[in-house]
Amino acid sequence: MISVRLPDGSKRDYPQAVTVAQVAESIGPGLAKAALAARVGTGEAARLVDTSYVLSQDADLSIVTAKDADGLEIIRHSTAHLLAYAVKELFPDAQVTIGPVIENGFYYDFSYSRPFTPEDLQAIEARMSELAAKDEPVTRKVMPRDEAVAYFKGIGEAYKAEIIESIPPDQEVSLYTEGGFTDLCRGPHVPSTGKLKFFKLMKVAGAYWRGDSNNEQLQRIYGTAWASKEELKTYLTMLGEAEKRDHRKLGKELDLFHIDDHAPGVVFWHAKGWTIWQEVEQYMRAVYRNNGYREVKGPQLLDKSLWEKTGHWDKYRENMFVTESEKREYALKPMNCPGHILIYKQGVKSYRDLPLRFGEFGQCHRNEPSGGLHGIMRVRGFTQDDGHIFCTEDQILEECVAYTALLQKVYQDFGFSNIIYKIATRPEKRIGSDEIWDKAEHALMESLRRSGCEFVVSPGDGAFYGPKVEYTLKDAIGRQWQCGTIQVDFSMPERLDAEYVAESGERKHPVMLHRAIVGSMERFIGILVEHYAGAMPVWLAPYQVAVLNITDAQAQYAQSVANALQKRGIRVVTDLRNEKVNYKIRELALQKLPYILVVGDKEMAEQKVSVRARGNQNLGEMALTELIERVCSEIDAKS
């Protein structure tokens, strides 16, 4: 007798071994039709299996459908295989390599003699739909490694054979077959191709085999797949809106910044973009001051030996820019934490000095691959609103609770009210004892509970020195951006001999909390530009008000209006050109200014201004003092 325990606590007994599909059928025909896979077991021991999986002993079982996150991932992975199937049908000489799931979709890399064209993509997508309509079964087979190598070599798939040859010889591999196509995969997959209905191929890009620029360049076909037609339509609509909001496009149109081949991965900030930067920085500087942080500044170059002590040299060496002077090796800092410990170590610290909070707008450099660079969102030189809190073990919880409240206030001021909370726990490769990791993970989870925040746990995604909370915000079109973080670190202060004198008189190592709210300043400003589609709120706008005249007769009055605005700290630009007023208004509107003030003879005579607000809103005539108070009020309210 086989006993199967279901998520609702009920049990179902079967006289003999039973497949997942049979269990689903016994529950009801609706579930049997919707079943894509199943999760066997509970907690970290649970694993995903195909519906053909045989339960030969008692088990906890949860049927996975398209409504589940696991189900959507299985749909996307299976659609990647459907893509490869279609490519092999249309281009038999193409070789398949790897095809993983990525955020919102999937890709598959191919080796082929010529570049795929947009017309090829249309043909491939059409063939995918034809193959899906056949509803062919997807079956799994296990094969010894060497036999699998021979099989793929025999059908001319050299890349698959090379992948399998990297697996230990005593292991078996799983293959999945649909129709006339067989691929290497761990699975699970949908039970048949008919489950794959809502997908679209997006683009072709280049990619090196195994990510190594010394290897052959392959062709990567990207696609997206969803559980319903509505979800696919919503996603494609969002992509269209995201294209309009692309910070690279808006950065050029609004004259904010540019990236130059003379300095790849580093930003050239123009005056208007730098104004946004300064507003963000000065705001965060006030956050430091008002919440007990001492702003510090560490050097750019630090000796190799320091990075070896912290463990960064082993973990991040490939991403560090290294130089040499007088037979000593140095690295441009990829992060600020070791420098903050060196500042902490100057002078004896007592338990009475803790918590000690350091903040820095620290410029960091990381040698990101050129293919991964993306406007100002992913760069090689960036500045973090970095902070480190040195505290006792008893102060961790209180500091984490206070930090979450602070982060929520900051995000709210920048216009983000929807935050997702995730706790990343210990990775397989880490430093520190399990006891220390237990304390750190417990403190982070308890801090979010006390803050009233629902959170998910991401097992194994913590840093090598400690677990972390990741704070992810949602923008105006629903995209998610992970920005803030707080990490609990027992190990680095010990490695660098940071100490404090405890109340008992003994010397102890402080706990170090690594925290950042906006993260990379460059990336955060890119997020802001896309969130607001370049129409920055009044307090962040490079120019908050534009003043323009109708004829030369009002030029002096227009300038006096601008001067009055400037005296109140309002950023203002004038357009006194001898051009038609509607032409000047259209030009300024394209720059997405919050307010445009027009002055003619009537306004000059009455000492007023005609006010247009962003979005083509005509607010009519207004006394200058009234307009100034309106703008200042919006600036103060961060609106």
* CATH code for the domain in which residue 21 is found: 3.10.20.30
**Quick check: is 386 catalytic?**
yes
The reply to whether 35 and 89 lie within a common domain is no
Give the model's pLDDT for residue 275. 98
Give the model's pLDDT for residue 471. 96
Q: Say whether 388 counts as a known binding-site residue.
A: yes
Q: Is residue 498 predicted with pLDDT exceeding 80? A: yes
Helix (H) or strand (E) holding 465: none
Residue 319 lies in a domain: no
- The tokens for 340 are 């903050």
The reply to whether 52 and 79 lie within a common domain is no
Q: Say whether 453 counts as a known binding-site residue.
A: no
Give the model's pLDDT for residue 372. 84
Give the model's pLDDT for residue 182. 95
The reply to whether 200 and 152 lie within a common domain is yes
The reply to whether 459 and 485 lie within a common domain is yes
Cα separation, 38 vs 188, in Å, equals 9
Give the model's pLDDT for residue 431. 81
Q: Is residue 44 predicted with pLDDT exceeding 80? A: no
The reply to whether 514 and 552 lie within a common domain is no
* CATH code for the domain in which residue 468 is found: 3.30.930.10
Residue with the larger pLDDT of the pair 620 and 312: 620
Residue 305 lies in a domain: no
* CATH code for the domain in which residue 627 is found: 3.40.50.800
End-to-end CA distance of the chain: 66
Beta bridge partners of 277: none
Give the model's pLDDT for residue 15. 92
Largest CA distance in the chain: 97
Give the model's pLDDT for residue 153. 93
Mean per-residue pLDDT for 470-492?
Answer: 93
**pTM of the shown model:** 0.83
Q: Say whether 81 counts as a known binding-site residue.
A: no
Q: Is residue 639 predicted with pLDDT exceeding 80? A: no
Mean per-residue pLDDT for 552-577?
Answer: 96
- What's the number of domains the chain is made of? 4
Cα separation, 85 vs 127, in Å, equals 9
Boundary residue ending a domain (504, 532, 560): 532
pLDDT tens profile 518-560:
999 999 999 999 999 999 999 999 999 999 999 999 999 999 9
The reply to whether 218 and 123 lie within a common domain is yes
**Quick check: is 340 catalytic?**
no
**Quick check: is 270 catalytic?**
no
Among 200, 349, 388, 608, the active-site one is 388
Kindly indicate the confidence band of residue 315, based on its pLDDT and cuts at 50, 70 and 90. confident
Among 366, 495, 571, 612, the active-site one is 366
Half-sphere exposure of 384 (CA within 13 A, CB side): 26
Among 380, 468, 495, 515, the active-site one is 468
Boundary residue ending a domain (65, 81, 103): 65
Neighbours of 299 (CB within 10 A): 10
Kindly indicate the confidence band of residue 45, based on its pLDDT and cuts at 50, 70 and 90. confident
The reply to whether 274 and 407 lie within a common domain is yes
Q: Is residue 448 predicted with pLDDT exceeding 90? A: yes
Range of the domain at 631: 538-637
Residue 471 lies in a domain: yes
Type of residue found at 493 = P
Kindly indicate the confidence band of residue 369, based on its pLDDT and cuts at 50, 70 and 90. confident
Among 109, 120, 386, 575, the active-site one is 386
Q: Is residue 516 predicted with pLDDT exceeding 80? A: yes
> What contacts 572, CB < 8 A, 6 or more positions away?
543, 544, 545, 546, 547, 562, 565, 566
Residue 310 lies in a domain: no
Among 219, 384, 487, 591, the active-site one is 384
**Quick check: is 312 catalytic?**
no
pLDDT tens profile 383-436:
999 999 999 999 999 999 999 999 999 999 999 999 999 999 999 888 888 888
Give the model's pLDDT for residue 311. 83
Cα separation, 491 vs 466, in Å, equals 8
Among 95, 109, 127, 337, the active-site one is 337
Sign, CA dihedral 392-394-400-405, equals negative
The reply to whether 381 and 419 lie within a common domain is yes
Mean pLDDT, the chain, whole residue set: 94
Give the model's pLDDT for residue 371. 79
Q: Is residue 213 predicted with pLDDT exceeding 90? A: no
Among 247, 514, 531, 571, the active-site one is 514
Give the model's pLDDT for residue 430. 86
* Percent of the chain clearing pLDDT 70 (strictly above): 100
**Quick check: is 366 catalytic?**
yes
Boundary residue ending a domain (532, 566, 601): 532
The reply to whether 79 and 60 lie within a common domain is no
Mean per-residue pLDDT for 570-586?
Answer: 95
Residue 306 lies in a domain: no
Instruction: Answer whether the bond into residue 338 is a cis peptide, omega within 30°.
Output: no
